[in-house]
C-alpha cells in the first residue's frame, strides 16, 4: 500500500487503488480494530502535542 497523508486535512490517499481514507479508516484497512485504531491515534496526538510543547519558544517579556 503506497499511501500519502495530507497533513492539512488528515486524509490519506492510496496511489495503488485510488481510495481515500480518514485516519481511522486507514488504520482499519491496515488490520487494526476500531478500539486499537482510536487508541493509536490518541497516542500519536499525545506524542505530537508533547513534541510541539517542548519545541515551542516563549517570547521574552
Rounded Cα gap, residues 48 and 61, in angstroms: 27
**Does residue 20 lie in a domain region?**
yes
Q: Are 11 and 24 in contact (CB under 8 A)?
A: no
What's the confidence (pLDDT) of residue 28?
95
- Stated pTM of the model: 0.67
Cα distances (angstroms) measured from residue 24 to each of 5, 15, 16, 59: 12, 18, 19, 37
What's the confidence (pLDDT) of residue 51?
80
**Does residue 60 lie in a domain region?**
no
**Does residue 8 lie in a domain region?**
yes
The tens place of each residue's pLDDT in the chain, 61 residues long, gives 788 999 899 899 999 999 999 999 999 999 999 999 999 999 998 988 888 777 656 655 5
Instruction: Give the DSSP H/E element, type plus range, for residue 52.
Output: helix 34-55
Domain count, the chain: 1
**Does residue 30 lie in a domain region?**
yes
**Does residue 61 lie in a domain region?**
no
Query: Which class for 13: exposed (0-12), middle (13-18), buried (19 or more C-beta within 10 A)?
Result: middle
Amino acid at each position: 500500500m503506497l499511501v500519502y497523508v495530507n497533513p492539512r486535512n488528515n486524509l490519506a490517499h492510496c496511489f495503488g487503488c485510488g481510495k481515500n481514507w480518514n485516519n481511522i479508516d486507514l488504520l482499519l484497512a491496515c488490520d487494526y480494530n476500531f478500539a486499537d485504531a482510536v487508541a493509536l491515534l490518541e497516542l500519536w496526538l499525545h506524542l505530537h502535542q508533547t513534541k510541539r510543547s517542548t519545541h515551542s519558544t516563549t517570547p521574552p517579556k
